[in-house]
């Protein structure tokens, strides 16, 4: 696996990592085969014993591993520089299994105020049943983080960039604070991808991805991944085998295929989103733009230090009301109105309506969700076309 990780720059590793060596060869096929099997057989009892003792590299049962999925896990190790990886059926399955596996009963989790709604829901509703308390700090408030870590914290978790305001956590600084406090540092790098940010190299213990997004890249498959230290991954993998959130081998194949163009797609959306963000910042009908590549962003300096690109998502506030933002979105011709991000098609959503419509205005305000907020995920369309489309939509409000 270490040799895999040394195969050149990220774009080269995205193509060859995990697949050139170690995966099963079937009639010399160039692509990794889809091994569609629920169970695996052994030639004799001695081979079973050799497998149990780690002397026979094979698989036993589909819930515990699959050759196609293992190739995907190796590719992610190659890209992130991790010792091991476990892939599951969704990003949410990865985060919930991680927290169940690594948080002790009556433990203490520290997380940031901005995160995916379902992650927030899991932390608020399920973890208290295990006696786990949670401290929430603002992204960028490192003094508050240090105080929270000193209060017996065992694990810190944050997205970086965050959803939906794209706050960027100083991973190196946070990792050092966690080490001093004896806490694990886990970074959800879904928005960044391994192309734009190397969280493990910056000091994180584990990095998480919703593989549904940029890794797969085509809005056609779901998956989640956790990469990092082998001992930690082993604990998560053991519980994953119990809980059973297993990814389908064909889904693993689709993510493998999608990742071969990851570097190309990320480079394209980095440029498109940067252009759109700069354009919107000058537009009279836009109140505020949230994009870490802009000097106006709260974490621009941090992003410059630790990211090689600023991602394909731009969040912005349309001047006016909820209805103004809705009218703008309805007038767009290129992006689909849909949740998610990171695919080849541009997607646009109004978080208030898509994710928080069941909340009152006061509850949304408490969570920091503004009714005029729009989240725009750039696809691989031409940036000039996207900007023209945005301008014509804005002209109608």
Spell out the per-residue pLDDT of the chain, length 397, in tens.
Answer: 343 445 789 888 988 888 877 666 666 788 899 999 999 999 999 999 999 999 999 999 999 999 999 999 999 999 999 999 999 999 999 999 999 999 988 999 999 999 898 999 999 999 999 999 999 999 999 999 999 999 999 999 999 999 999 999 999 999 999 999 999 999 999 999 999 999 999 999 999 999 999 999 999 999 999 999 999 999 999 999 999 999 999 999 999 999 999 999 999 999 999 999 999 999 999 999 999 999 999 999 999 999 999 999 999 999 999 999 999 999 999 999 999 999 999 999 999 998 888 888 888 888 788 899 999 999 999 999 999 999 999 999 9
Measuring CA to CA, which residue among 384, 391, 379, 388 is closest to residue 270?
379
Among 220, 243, 259, the domain-final residue is 259
Burial status of residue 282 (CB atoms within 10 A of its CB: 0-12, 13-18, 19 or more): exposed
Same domain, 88 and 209: yes
Q: Which two tokens stand for residue 251?
A: 């889904």
How many CB atoms are located within 10 Å of the residue 367 CB?
A: 16
Strand segments, DSSP code E, in 37-153 are 84-88, 108-112, 133-137
How many whole angstroms separate alpha carbon 73 and alpha carbon 91?
A: 14
* Residue that is last in its domain, among 234, 259, 284: 259
Tokens of 178: 């966690």
Query: Please, what's the b/e burial string for 260-281 (b: 16 or more CB within 10 A of its CB; e: otherwise)?
Result: bbbbebbbbbbebbbbbbebbb
Domain range for 100 is 2-259
Q: What is the pTM of this model?
A: 0.93
CATH (domain of 144): 3.40.640.10
- Same structural domain, 57 and 126: yes
The total domain count for the chain is 2
Q: Which two tokens stand for residue 1?
A: 């696996």
Say which residue the tokens 């053991």 belong to.
Answer: 238
Q: Which positions are catalytic?
A: 63, 116, 188, 213
Same domain, yes or no: 360 and 386: yes
Residue 270 pLDDT? 98
Instruction: Verify that 267 and 134 share a domain, yes or no.
Output: no
Tell me: cis bond preceding 56? Omega within 30 of 0 counts.
no
- Strand pairing class (133-137; 108-112): parallel
40-49 contact pairs (CB < 8 A, 24+)? none
pLDDT at 4: 44
For residues 219 and 327, membership in a common domain is answered with no
Of 235, 259, 283, the residue that ends a domain is 259
Q: What is the dihedral of CA 22, 27, 33, 35, to 10 degrees?
A: -90
**CA angle at residue 163 from 366 to 293, to 5 degrees?**
120
Contacts for 36 with CB less than 8 Å, ≥ 6 apart? 249, 250
Nearest Cα residue to 172 out of 136, 204, 206:
204
What the block records as the tokens of 266 is 């990320």
- pLDDT for res 22: 66
**Is the domain of 194 the same as that of 109?**
yes
Claim to verify: residue 277 and residue 180 sit in the same structural domain: no
Q: What is the pLDDT of residue 26?
A: 66
Cβ atoms of 206 and 186 closer than 8 Å? yes
């Amino acid at each position: 696996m270490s040799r895999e990780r040394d195969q050149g720059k990220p774009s080269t590793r995205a193509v060859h990592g995990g697949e050139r060596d170690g995966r099963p060869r079937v009639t010399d096929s160039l692509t990794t085969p889809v091994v569609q099997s629920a169970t695996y057989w052994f030639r004799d009892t001695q081979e079973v014993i050799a497998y149990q003792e780690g002397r026979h590299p094979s698989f036993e049962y589909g819930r515990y591993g699959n050759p196609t999925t293992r190739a995907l896990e190796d590719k992610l190790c190659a890209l992130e520089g991790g010792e091991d990886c476990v892939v599951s059926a969704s990003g949410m399955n990865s985060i919930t299994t991680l927290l169940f596996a690594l948080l002790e009963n009556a433990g203490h989790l520290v997380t940031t105020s901005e995160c995916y709604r379902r992650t927030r829901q899991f932390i608020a509703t399920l973890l208290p049943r295990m006696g786990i308390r949670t401290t929430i700090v603002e992204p960028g408030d490192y003094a508050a983080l240090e105080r929270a870590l000193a209060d017996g914290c065992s694990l810190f978790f944050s997205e970086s960039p965050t959803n939906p305001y794209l706050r960027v956590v100083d991973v190196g600084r946070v990792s050092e604070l966690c080490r001093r406090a004896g806490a694990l540092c886990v970074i959800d790098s879904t928005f960044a991808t391994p192309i734009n940010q190397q969280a493990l190299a910056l000091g994180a213990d584990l990095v998480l991805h919703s593989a549904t997004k940029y890794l797969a890249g085509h809005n056609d498959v779901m998956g989640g991944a956790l990469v990092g230290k082998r001992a930690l991954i082993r604990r998560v993998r053991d519980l994953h085998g119990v809980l059973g959130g297993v990814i389908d081998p064909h889904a693993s194949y689709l993510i493998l295929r999608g990742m071969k163009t990851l570097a190309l797609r990320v480079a394209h959306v980095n440029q498109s989103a940067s252009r759109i963000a700069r354009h919107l910042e000058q537009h009279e009908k836009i109140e505020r733009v949230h994009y870490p590549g802009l000097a106006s962003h709260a974490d621009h300096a941090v992003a410059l230090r630790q990211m090689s690109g600023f991602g394909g998502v731009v969040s912005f506030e349309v001047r006016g009301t909820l209805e103004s933002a809705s009218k703008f979105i309805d007038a767009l011709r290129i992006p689909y109105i849909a949740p998610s991000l990171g695919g080849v098609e541009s997607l646009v959503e109004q978080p208030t309506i898509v994710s928080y419509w069941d909340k009152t205005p006061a509850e949304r305000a408490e969570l920091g969700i503004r009714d005029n907020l729009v989240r725009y995920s750039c696809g691989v369309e031409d940036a000039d076309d996207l900007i023209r489309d945005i301008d014509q939509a804005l002209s109608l409000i």
